[in-house]
Amino acid sequence: MLDHFAMDASTILDASEMSAARSVPDFVAWVKRKAEELGASPEAKIFARSGAQLPKKFYDELLPLALFVEHEFTTVPNAVVAPNLGNDNFDATVSFGDGTDILYIEITRAKNGHDESMRDEVLTREGSVCLTGPILKVEGRRGAPDRIVEVDDEAISHELLLRKNLSLVEAAVQAKTNRVYGNRHLLLLVVDDYLPFRMESDHRAIHSLITSSLLSFDLDFMRLVVLGISGKLILSYQLPRYAQREARV
């Protein structure tokens, strides 16, 4: 147990440190170290689940980014990763060689953020929470002493869970259509492959949805990558807007 966590767990993450440019191995090692620190004490876990800006950025963007670049660029010499905490049309860059060749990465998660936030409150308060049961009651302001969040301990069928999460995938991708990105932009779509997308049949279902409905000219990216947050699921798709141009060259 690290003593400084008990004093102020918010010091675990620093914006300038989070956005620092690093080689792929150094970035992956840094993210793994911070993930361990965020789970190393009760105070750190409370901070991690607080919904504050920096831990939210860490879990929504930096953690999946580390999984992706470790898979994609570990053996690429001189690849440098730089997370972007601003409001630009990319969440990170990977630069190569002398830095003039740059890949821009936009990260989005197929999730219900409000639902996740409510369950995190219950998890912090009670030490466990059902991930599939309905949220029965929400009263009071978050952080207030009279705050009440109740989640039913109800299991649902895997088929229903899969359908719900396929809908989240579709919504996450559709939210990126008709926006300006470019032929150096990659869309990294992060999904939960611990529960809804854990089986090979689930992987086939998400592949079928993407290939039948979501590879649209309205997506201004050169590539779509689906990444499971466990790191075990990775699916990659060339998008038609720029694939067609390359085919004509």
Query: Quick check: is 12 in a domain?
Result: no
Same domain, yes or no: 212 and 244? yes
Residue 13 lies in a domain: no
Q: Do 122 and 182 reside in the same domain of the chain?
A: no
Residue 45 in any domain: the answer is no
Same domain, 144 and 176: no
Let me know whether 161 and 247 are in one domain: yes
* Residue 248 counted as domain residue: yes
pTM: 0.87
Domain boundary among 136, 155, 174: 155
End residue of a domain, out of 155, 176, 208: 155
State the residue range of the domain holding 221. Answer: 157-249
Number of domains in the chain: 2
Query: What is residue 91's predicted lDDT score, i.e. its pLDDT?
Result: 98
Query: In terms of domains, do 246 and 165 share one?
Result: yes
In a domain, 104, yes or no: no
Low-confidence ranges of the chain (pLDDT < 70): 1-7, 136-137, 244-249
> Are 194 and 223 members of one domain?
yes
Q: Are residues 208 and 131 in the same domain?
A: no
**Are residues 166 and 182 both part of a single domain?**
yes
Domain presence at residue 50: no
Q: Let me know whether 151 and 162 are in one domain.
A: no
Residue 163 belongs to a domain: yes
How confident is the model at residue 137, as a pLDDT? 65
Residues 127 and 165 in one domain: no
Per-residue pLDDT, 112 = 77
Is 10 inside any structural domain? Answer: no
HEC readout, the chain: CCHHHHHCHHHHCCHHHHCCCEEHHHHHHHHHHHHHHHCCCHHHHHHHCCCCHHHHHHHHHHHHHHHHHHHHHCCCCCCEEEECCCCCCCCEEEEECCCCEEEEEEEEECCCHHHHHHHHHHHHHHCCCCCCCCEEEEECCCCCCCCEEEECCCCCCHHHHHHHHHHHHHHHHHCCCCCCCCCCEEEEEEECCCCCCCCHHHHHHHHHHHHHHHCCCCCCCCEEEEEECCCCCEEEEECHHHHHHHHHC
pLDDT at residue 5 in the model:
39
